[in-house]
Amino acid sequence: MNTSAIRHRSTFDMCYAADDDTAVIRLQTGKDVDKACIICSDPFIAELTRKKAWYGQKHPMRPLMELEEKQIWVFRTKPKFKRLQYYFEVESGGEKYLVYDNKVIPADSPDKSSRQCFKLPWINPSDVIKPPAWVKDTVWYQIMPDRFCRSSPESDERFEEWGRFKPFKFHVMYGGDIKGITQRLPYLHKLGINGIYLTPIFLSSTYHRYNTFDYEMIDPILGTDDDMKEFVDKAHSLGIRIMLDGVFNHCGTEFFAWKDVFEKGKASPYFDWFFINDETAIQKNDHDTSDGRYFTFSFWAGMPKLNTNNPEVIKYFCDVCSHWVRDWDIDGIRFDVGDEISHTFLRELRRTLKPIKNDVFLLGEIWFDSLPWLYGAEYDSVMNYPTCGCINGLHREESMSSTDFMYSLNTCLSMYPEQITEVLFNFLDTHDTTRIFEECSGNTDLLIQKLALLLTLPGTPCIYYGTEIALKGRSVSDNRRCMPWDEIDKGLHNEIFSKVSKLISVRHSLPQLKSPDIEFTHSSEHPRLLNYTRSAQNCAGRIGVYANAEKCGIELPSVGRVIYSDLYENNILQPNGVIIYEK
């Protein structure tokens, strides 16, 4: 047995409370392990029964998910007294080992000393990770306000002609505004969207507004406080939640605190709001900070990095966010560059906002394994770049099989407790990536297949504006084109819009698609035929998905009731085709 592959710690990824009553225990082993059991009971059972030593009952563990070289096992229980002590027994070809906190030993080992059990000390309700319940039922839509909709059709010398294609520069604006988004809420409602994520809306010198000048003032180009309140109210009346982008890692050079430091140097009371290494070179006229004179986002001189360890900075932004939530009634905040903000800042901000609105959604922009931010005291979820890469990798790499896809996805799903998996923020593209239609090389059938995967995999899905009509855009400057409302209003994109809308409707209607559970089946004859099944507790039926990444049509077995299909007829699933069915 490969005992070096065995891993368990009593930490939130492997030992956690799914709710106030349910304990979930996961064990990782090598794939040579045939059977895994847990031996568990209350840590004080010996005192209750007057036994000399603690003892536990043996329960089989269920295979949960398979990784490339590992197997994850799971056991769920409702301990009567909210606590659990345990160890494991694993078996491979008749060979048995016992897994303790401090050692892995043969089951027949005569060594009875210093065997330390694992322990779940107590399920405290306040420690149970509880993301807002509404998030797992949400289909998001990301909007970059400058490029979505301009409320006034009149020409304005401040703006480029709407939709004119040209190499975009950061200071070129097209005049999209909040009223324009409000006008198009019926369009989003028809699409099936019930969550909108807005990129920054505050005063800035750029169209993207990630160099914020004033966190309390909506950019006048976008509108007013009243426009914002009207937008949120009308969105809420349609059942649509609103999430704002919070840029707290850095600011723009016109932010009041940076301006004061720029003028006064160390004499400024805001000097410690930033990371300044050479005050004599602050005013150096250069576009980058590779000389290290002060820290910035990346090396952009126009985005000085905020010291989110400073109590004054923390209080300032806690007050700012409280205003957003209390006065505008927003439902979530997405934290730009969320991995560089201090944990101290995030914990305090959560403590501040949750009493104002207990189901406000806090989302971190982190591109990798994010467990340190997800213990329940900071973010509710993170942007799930690994799953985005998994979906896109299926067609980038023609050698990628359905088994490879499963390994890649399961690696993502094994990182977090199930309640976080349910709300991982999934997407195919964003303002920071190539548009998914470009990834599909202009193939709308492939676009629909990828959207079907996005909408049927665990997590809360987000669609980048324009993806529902196959908007193009490759580079970062090109992936932020204007929405072609003239074409949309003329019905030129009705066919693909209808397909995407139907997929979103399927997502909303099936509770199985909102659970963390997924099971794969593979075909040796067709290694790039993707097939998985979704199930949920308290749901009798199971939902299956087939997606054909092969270059030929594939005859499928009888699948039961077809809920959605594209490129599927007479039991033949064509290349890039997909079906969703009830088993």
Q: Give 237-264 pLDDT, tens digit per residue.
A: 999 999 999 999 999 999 999 999 999 9
Q: Tell me how crowded residue 473 is: count the other CB atoms within 10 A of its CB.
A: 21
Percent of the chain with pLDDT over 90: 89
Least confident of 164-178, 334-348, 364-378, 548-562: 164-178
pLDDT band for position 270 (cuts 50, 70, 90): very high
Task: Please give the structure tokens belonging to residue 373.
Answer: 């931010």
Q: Look at residue 422 in the predicted model and tell me its pLDDT.
A: 97
Residue 513 has phi, psi (to 5 degrees) of: -75, -10
Task: Report the C-alpha gap between 537 and 539 in whole angstroms.
Answer: 5
What band does 170 get if pLDDT is binned at 50, 70 and 90? confident
Query: How many CA atoms, within 13 angstroms, populate the side-chain half-sphere of residue 447?
Result: 24
Q: Which range is least confidently modeled, 6-10, 95-99, 171-175, 512-516?
A: 171-175
Distance between CA atoms of residues 507 and 511, nearest Å: 8
Question: So what's the pLDDT on residue 283?
Answer: 86
What pLDDT, on a 0 to 100 scale, did the predictor assign at position 395?
A: 86
Written as six digits, the tokens of 483 are 């929405």
Q: Which among 238, 168, 167, 240 has a CA at the least distance from the CA of 198?
A: 240
Q: Which of 247, 222, 243, 221 is nearest to 232 (CA)?
A: 243
Residue 509: pLDDT above 70?
A: yes
pTM over 0.75: yes
Q: How confident is the prediction for the chain on average, in pLDDT?
A: 95
- Is 336 known to be catalytic? yes
Predicted local confidence at residue 487, as pLDDT: 97
Q: Average of pLDDT values for 454-478? A: 93
* pLDDT tens digit sequence for 476-500: 778 999 999 999 999 999 999 999 9
**Least confident interval from 112-121, 357-366, 548-557:** 112-121
Under a CB-based contact definition with an 8 Å cutoff, are residues 124 and 23 in contact?
Answer: no
**Which residue, among 245, 247, 246, 312, has the nearest Cα to 274 in the 3D structure?**
312
Q: Which of 146, 365, 550, 566 is catalytic?
A: 365
pLDDT value at residue 172: 86
Percent of the chain with pLDDT over 70: 99
Number of Cβ atoms within 10 Å of the Cβ of 160: 15
Q: Amino acid letter at 302?
A: G
Banded model confidence at residue 96, pLDDT cuts 50, 70, 90 = very high
Q: Kindly tell me if the per-residue pLDDT of 49 is higher than 90.
A: no
Q: Can you give the pLDDT at residue 286?
A: 86
Stretch among 158-172, 342-356, 543-557 having the lowest mean pLDDT: 158-172
Helix (H) or strand (E) holding 283: none
**Average pLDDT value for residue range 24-40:** 97
Q: Which amino acid is at 538?
A: N
Q: Is 365 a catalytic residue?
A: yes
Q: Residue 167's pLDDT band (boundaries 50, 70, 90)?
A: low
Q: How far is CA 486 from the centre of its chain?
A: 33
Q: CA-to-CA distance for 156 and 5, rounded, in angstroms? A: 64
Q: Is the backbone of residue 558 left (phi > 0), alpha (psi -120 to 50) or beta?
A: beta
Q: Strands of 361-364's sheet, edge to edge?
A: 381-382, 361-364, 332-335, 241-246, 195-198, 140-143, 460-464, 425-427
Domains of the chain: 3-127 (2.60.40.10), 142-248+328-512 (3.20.20.80), 250-307 (3.90.400.10), 514-582 (2.60.40.1180)
Per-residue model confidence (pLDDT) at position 114 = 85
Q: pLDDT value at position 540? A: 86
Angstrom CA distances, 11 to 80, 86, 124, 253, 516, stand at 21, 14, 15, 42, 19
What mean pLDDT comes out for the span 100-110?
A: 92
How does residue 475 score in pLDDT terms, banded at 50, 70 and 90? confident
| Average pLDDT, integer, range 431-452 | 96
pLDDT value of position 168:
65
Residue 284 tokens, joined: 């150096």
Going by pLDDT thresholds of 50, 70 and 90, the confidence category of residue 133 is: very high
H/E stretch holding 267 reads: none
Q: What is the pLDDT of residue 580?
A: 98
Q: Residue 51: what pLDDT?
A: 82
Q: Could you please report the per-residue DSSP string of 494-555?
A: HHHHHHHHHHHHHHHH-GGGGSS-EEE---SS-TTEEEEEE--TT--S-EEEEEE-SSS-EE
> In the beta sheet, which residues pair with residue 110?
none
Whether the pLDDT of residue 166 is over 80: the answer is: no
User: Which is catalytic among the residues 177, 336, 348, 438?
Assistant: 336
Does the pLDDT at position 474 exceed 90?
A: no
